[in-house]
Structure 1
């Protein structure tokens, strides 16, 4: 399978397996360039070998000798490898500052922009917070309606006026009957609405586990569409379906909307197969 992404945490490069003494393969050397390049967008000035070298996001100042020791390669092999990466338009090389400054051409594809990183890092927290807030709002509405229903169902007998004649008594009884009937109808409607809101909350909660699998915007649109109430406000749209399988419905929705795969913070590799070097990344 050649589609999708492999999400690789930066913590991987501090793992003992990665730091094991060895001769690097070409693939490992390429990964090392990606993880060593500057991630922050702000330029950095650093003293290297007695020279002041400035570099920014997606760049990595490194001499041939340094990479040779780091990868356990000959200097000739390092030059050959860097030349290959240049031909494949994977890197560019600059020696204007008296040292090789390697620039990864598609660095943003592997890491995302700095603003995306800040956004993505907080999005997982924020999306979870927004969902919790939404659920709490639904619960509050249900509680308020249930309280309203309970209050309306509590009867407070009104003091009957002094009886003057039969006509007045009959009229008062009729008014009381109408008032009681109206109150019962309103109470039943509010109870039905409260029950619907309770089911709506349950429906929302059933979508929470899929937030990591699909973008939160898609989940929100899916929820808004399928939770739309009918005219009597007693059933949601999805409850009118003959069959309902949530995973299948979400997959169909995502396919129809052509929702892209959700990336994560860290290094994202589209393909880790050896043939990738022949294709160019």
Structure 2
């Protein structure tokens, strides 16, 4: 994210109906900080002042919330017309119909030029159905614990698999590299959780130990 310029908030924000809802307020302020300060284009799409391009997964990583909490917060905000969400298979565009109710000014910094790349331009080739989206994020700027939490939520959302399978699958693919900057699954070029889980479960085999049959999970997947 390009952290340039600033926004000026009204003190009346304290009296806002969602101010005491931690998740909603946090996401709302984060979105205010992400909006463009001038009309620009992103991959042929017009992005006006007070709008930006993102995805649910990206917002989750940036705020530390789960994807489900991001969806719930956005639903509350959209339901009360504080922001508008336009979702496609490639991206999500967020805009603020009531931007002036909270923001006194959205201004570029003196070092910015009118042709500066907007904040949203780093969101390239977004696919919200792609389980490997987290691997494309900037690992130097996002807390590993947030990405790990999101990955765990994604894995355990596949409730048709046994919890033992899910736990072992998560433990293996969330193992960190020596620099503690990436999980094992983030080093894979292609990674679809459901397909990997099916293969993981299929590779489970019984092993006789002390006359008891115990599952042995293969780690070479």
Q: How would you bin the TM-score normalised by the shorter chain?
A: 0.3 to 0.5
What is the TM-score of this pair, normalised by structure 1?
Answer: 0.29
**Which protein is bigger by CA-based radius of gyration?**
1
Q: By percentage of residues, which structure has more helix?
A: 1
What is the TM-score of this pair, normalised by structure 2?
Answer: 0.36
Q: By percentage of residues, which structure has more strand?
A: 2
